[in-house]
């Protein structure tokens, strides 16, 4: 069965690193037979707490080594375009800084939201995107995004890291699969590919198996969570409308070599560990069904 990876937030209520929480989460994963995880740190688009960020990377790396865990991917939350900086120095400075700090975690992949512009962050993507269009126009805005991602990809390659640009949803910049594929093709680097977020794709009505086929060998990461097809609910697998058997079949058809990264944040029961256990069991059951079919001979 495919290796699973869990998305973890290691911060406390004040946004500070909580090593006790981190250790407990890793131990929970290990009990489930899971040895890889995905994480992020410092949700500021332009982070200024460099010493704190470096401390996070160093301490989580040391803890992961001690526990026998490995980072499957790191989620970059920074900007890919600054409409107030014609030379894009600020964006590229933080791209480089993130690579320098978080490469100690040895992530195979940096996941990137290609529609995060300036200080807007995720919640203001549409607003800042519109400001960029009004200032530069669609063609020039796109050209600058391509150049920044190419610059980022080249620096990432120097550290042995791949970039995976993620589909968002709801009309945000590069949220559509066609746009995302065209973007990666134009960046045209071996180490720049895709992160397919299945939940986001479901909200946008994407043909998910077809998208997986189109991304092919450039699919570096998949984020797995469910929803009702209307809201980005990040539900456990099986609690929404995604056809997971088709997703598993499509991943198998392209020989996807990466992890199945779970990104669910809501649970049908109050106990986190129990909910996580059931969710992972559900995924493994679906993998078994896809491989072996349903056993119904004893059905009356």
Rounded to an integer, what distance in angstroms lies between the CA atom of residue 159 and that of residue 121? Answer: 26
Residue 188 lies in a domain: yes
Separation of alpha carbons 123 and 59, rounded Å: 30
How many separate domains does the chain show?
Answer: 1
pLDDT score of 47:
64
Q: Which pLDDT belongs to residue 165? A: 97
CATH code of 135's domain: 3.20.20.150
- Name the stretches of the chain with pLDDT < 50: none
Residue 299 covered by a domain = no
Assigned domain for 122 exists: yes
- What's the pLDDT score for residue 46? 66
Give the structural domain span for 39.
Answer: 4-292
Q: Is residue 126 part of a domain?
A: yes
Query: For residue 199, what pLDDT is reported?
Result: 96
For the stretch 3-42, pLDDT in tens is 999 999 999 988 899 999 999 999 999 999 999 999 999 7
Per-residue pLDDT at 173: 78
Residue 297 in any domain: the answer is no
For residue 174, being part of any structural domain is answered with: yes
* Residue 298 placed within a domain: no
pTM, 2 dp = 0.93
How far CA 88 is from CA of 182, 188, 246, 268, in Å, comes to 22, 20, 41, 45
């Amino acid at each position: 069965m495919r290796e699973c990876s869990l998305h973890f937030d290691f911060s406390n209520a004040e946004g500070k690193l909580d090593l006790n929480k981190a250790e407990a989460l890793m131990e929970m994963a290990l009990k489930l037979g899971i040895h890889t995880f995905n994480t992020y740190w410092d949700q500021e688009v332009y982070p200024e707490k460099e010493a704190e960020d470096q401390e996070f990377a160093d301490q989580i790396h040391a803890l992961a080594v001690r526990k026998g865990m490995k980072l499957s991917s790191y989620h970059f939350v920074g900007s890919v375009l600054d409409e107030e900086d014609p030379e894009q120095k600020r964006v590229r400075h933080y791209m480089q800084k993130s690579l320098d700090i978080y490469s100690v975690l040895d992530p195979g992949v940096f996941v990137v939201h290609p529609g995060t512009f300036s200080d807007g962050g995720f919640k203001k993507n549409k607003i800042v995107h519109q400001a960029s269009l009004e200032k530069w126009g669609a063609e020039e805005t796109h050209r600058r995004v391509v150049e920044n991602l190419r610059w980022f990809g080249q620096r990432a390659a120097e550290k042995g890291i791949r970039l995976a640009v993620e589909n968002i949803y709801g009309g945000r910049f590069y949220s559509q699969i066609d746009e995302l594929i065209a973007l990666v093709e134009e960046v045209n680097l071996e180490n720049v590919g895709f992160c397919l977020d299945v939940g986001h794709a479901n909200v946008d009505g994407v043909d998910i198996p077809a998208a997986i086929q189109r991304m092919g060998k450039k699919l570096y990461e998949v984020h797995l969570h469910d929803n009702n097809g209307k809201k980005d609910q990040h539900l456990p697998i099986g609690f929404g409308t995604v056809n997971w058997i088709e997703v598993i079949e499509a991943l198998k058809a392209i020989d996807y070599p990466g992890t199945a990264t779970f990104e669910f944040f809501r649970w049908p029961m109050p106990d986190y560990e129990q909910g996580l256990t059931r969710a992972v069991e559900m995924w493994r059951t679906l993998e078994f069904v896809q491989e072996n079919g349903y056993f119904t001979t004893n059905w009356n």
